[in-house]
Amino acid sequence: MRLDGILEEVKALAVKTGAFIAEQRKSFDSSKVESKRSHDYVSYVDEGSEQMIVARLKEILPEAGFITEEKTVEQVDEQTEYFWVVDPLDGTTNFIHDLAPYCVCIALRSKTEILLGVVYEVTRKELYSAAKGMGAYLNDKPIHVTGNVDLDQALVMIGYPYDADAWRQFCLNLTGQLYGHCASIRSNGSAEAELCYVASGKIDVYIESFIQPWDVAAGACILMEAGGKVTDYDGKDEQWESGRQVIATNGWLHDVMLQEIAKAKKNAGISKK
């Protein structure tokens, strides 16, 4: 399998889909937004974008299965050797409210590893991409994580989960611990964008709970190829892919952030989630 050739086709697809999303935003009808669960939304643009992506990916790699957010295609089975992980519009709430960022996200993985990832941030026309062993890029320029080793100088992004009842106290604890002890804290509403921001050195740390595999697969591939580190809240390399717990850093700050997370979990009465 020539990953470089596949990557170029996926990049072109992400940009094309992003152009469709940008055009739809100009005349977007918010009355047609549906709620998947409390404060978690889906629009006809999400679904239309996913259909566009799936149709083209079937041409690029016909034998691959799919894991997609909007489930417009039959999902992967145990016999599938390769499969696409697709979030057609990560940051739907931002899109609905005409706020940046929101992204087209496509990853290809085998049963054991992520092979490539592409994230197109629509509002800034930023195309992040990576393939295993080939480095990470922003608009075809190489990117790398920061070398920051000092938490006091770190810009941290925290995602606040839809499962607020379960994670409210943890998030309050973690925010309280870091507030005044890091450069600043942000939350921008797109997990994939935040992973790419760590990869490109815009921020140093990203933390979020209770998301999904399609929220992290492409961005995590890009981050790891940019020299960063991704684990779950216990520091396990193999557990973050579920999206249930994700901490992404420049690597240098990973251990100290795991300590902060452990403290926040303990004080919130969380043992395992």
Domain boundaries, the chain: 3-142, 151-268
Q: What digits encode the pLDDT tens for the residues 218-241?
A: 999 999 999 999 999 999 987 788
Tokens at 251, concatenated: 């690597």
101 prior amide bond cis, ω within 30: yes
Res 56 pLDDT > 80: yes
pLDDT tens per residue across span 83-110: 999 999 999 889 989 999 999 999 999 9
pLDDT tens digit sequence for 130-162: 999 999 999 999 999 999 999 999 999 999 988
Q: C-alpha distances in angstroms, 125 versus 99, 111, 172, 270?
A: 14, 31, 33, 39
* CATH code for the structural domain at 3-142: 3.30.540.10
How much of the chain is helix, strand and coil, in % rounded to 5? 40, 25, 35
Q: The pTM is what?
A: 0.93
Q: Express each pLDDT in 73-87 by its tens digit.
A: 777 666 789 999 999
When mean pLDDT is compared across 49-58, 61-70, 250-259, the lowest value belongs to 61-70
**How do residues 162-173 score in pLDDT, each as one tens digit?**
888 889 999 999
pLDDT of residue 72: 76
The 3-state DSSP class for residue 263 equals helix
- Predicted confidence (pLDDT) at residue 40 exceeds the cutoff of 60: no
Fold of 151-268: D-Maltodextrin-Binding Protein; domain 2 (3.40.190)
Residue pair 103/45 in contact by the 8 Å Cβ criterion: no
